[in-house]
Amino acid sequence: MAKPLMAKATAVWLVDNTTISFKQIGDFVGMHELEVQGIADGDAAAGVKGFDPIANNQLTQEEIDAAQDSPLHKLKLKFNPSAAGEEKRRGPRYTPLSKRQDRPNSILWLVKFHPELSDGQIAKLVGTTKPTIQSIRERTHWNISNMQPIDPVALGLCKQSELDMIVQKAAAKKAAEGGVMSDDERRKLVSTEQSLEMDAAPRIPTAIEGLETFSLSDDPEDEKDDEPIVDADSFFNLPKGGSDEEEDEPRP
């Protein structure tokens, strides 16, 4: 619900000039009813001059009369055609002058670690322009050699919740398009908190792939029994048996 201009001054005027309940005034100006009661008791808003909502085109006399007659009636702000769309004004995010020099570093971080984000999403997140993002993507930025990727959350250019939200949107869009994502892409497309909680996927080196299919016997003695026993004579093909006399007889 839209709130009136100069809410506290409007509450002061309503307390002084009407019999509307504190709850009704508080709901209209966005204050707690106890704070409105403090205004009536003189404990709050000392020295604040009342702001007439009728003269300033925020309330009608009929609306005030209806609220005075019924304690359950909620005051409604008068429609002002000239203020339509002011609350949802679109445009780039405002970045303080002290932080504008850090924007290229944050853009480089987003381009490097979240390549799935579009230029429009990055521009909306850190308050920059698409040509600047494109120059950093193509590494044609005039200061690219001195730039280092820095998390925009750490720089104070956006909130962690905002970064997670656009990352999740990018993940949903990727899934809707039916694109094939690698493990690294899946890890990037989830939120930062989820990514930190994920366990590293175990990988088997290519050189020993398939060795896990071979199983060894639990008892090493069983393997030894299956192996043939090799003695020295059989190894060197020496004749077995025979007496010493046979060895002494001359050969023909």
> Would you state the pLDDT for residue 137?
93
> Which amino acid, 250?
P
Sorted by sequence, the CB contacts under 8 Å of residue 44 that are 6+ apart come out as 35, 38
Q: Give the mean pLDDT of 198-224.
A: 49
Residues 161 and 125 in one domain: yes
Instruction: For residues 150 and 190, state if they share a domain.
Output: yes
- At residue 6, the pLDDT reads 84
Residue 42: the pLDDT is 84
Residue 211 pLDDT class (50, 70, 90 cuts)? very low
Is 42 inside a domain boundary? yes
| Span 202-220, average pLDDT | 48
Confidence at residue 174, expressed as pLDDT on a 0 to 100 scale: 77
Residue 26 domain-assigned? yes
DSSP structure class, residue 87: T
Q: Are residues 53 and 99 in the same domain?
A: no
Residues 96 and 183 grouped into a single domain: yes
- With beta carbons less than 8 A apart as the criterion, state whether 105 and 94 touch: no
| Among the listed residues 97, 99, 103, the one whose alpha carbon sits nearest the alpha carbon of residue 125 | 103
**Residue 170: its pLDDT value, please?**
85
pTM of the model: 0.40
Q: What is the pLDDT of residue 204?
A: 46
Q: Is residue 146 part of a domain?
A: yes
| Pair (28, 75) in one structural domain | yes
Same domain, 113 and 187: yes
Together in a domain, 178 and 104: yes
Name residue, tokens 């039916």: 178
Any idea what DSSP says for residue 199?
P
pLDDT of residue 216: 46
Per the domain annotation, does 45 fall within a domain? yes
Q: How many CB atoms lie within 10 A of CB 107?
A: 27
Structural domains in the chain (count): 2
What does the alpha-carbon distance between residue 184 and residue 188 come to, in Å, rounded to a whole number? 6
What is the rounded end-to-end Cα distance, in angstroms, of the chain? 126
Which of 1-5, 57-61, 140-144, 211-215 is predicted with the least confidence, judged by mean pLDDT?
211-215
Q: In the prediction, which pLDDT does 111 show?
A: 92
Burial (CB count <10 Å: 0-12, 13-18, 19+), residue 135? middle
**Domain span holding position 182:** 91-199
pLDDT class of 185 with cuts at 50, 70, 90: low
pLDDT bucket at 149, cuts 50 / 70 / 90 = very high
104 and 190 part of one domain: yes
Query: Does residue 103 share a domain with residue 70?
Result: no
Most confident range, picked from 58-62, 80-84, 232-236: 58-62
Picking from 48, 65, 83, the residue at the C-terminal end of a domain is 83
Residue 139 has what pLDDT? Answer: 92
Residues 100 and 64 in one domain: no
Residue 236: inside a domain: no
* Same-domain check for residues 97 and 164: yes
One domain, residues 183 and 158: yes
CA distances to 224, 226, 235, 240 from 230, rounded to whole Å, are: 12, 12, 7, 14
Supply φ then ψ for residue 43, to 5 degrees. Answer: -85, -20
Domain boundary among 184, 199, 214: 199
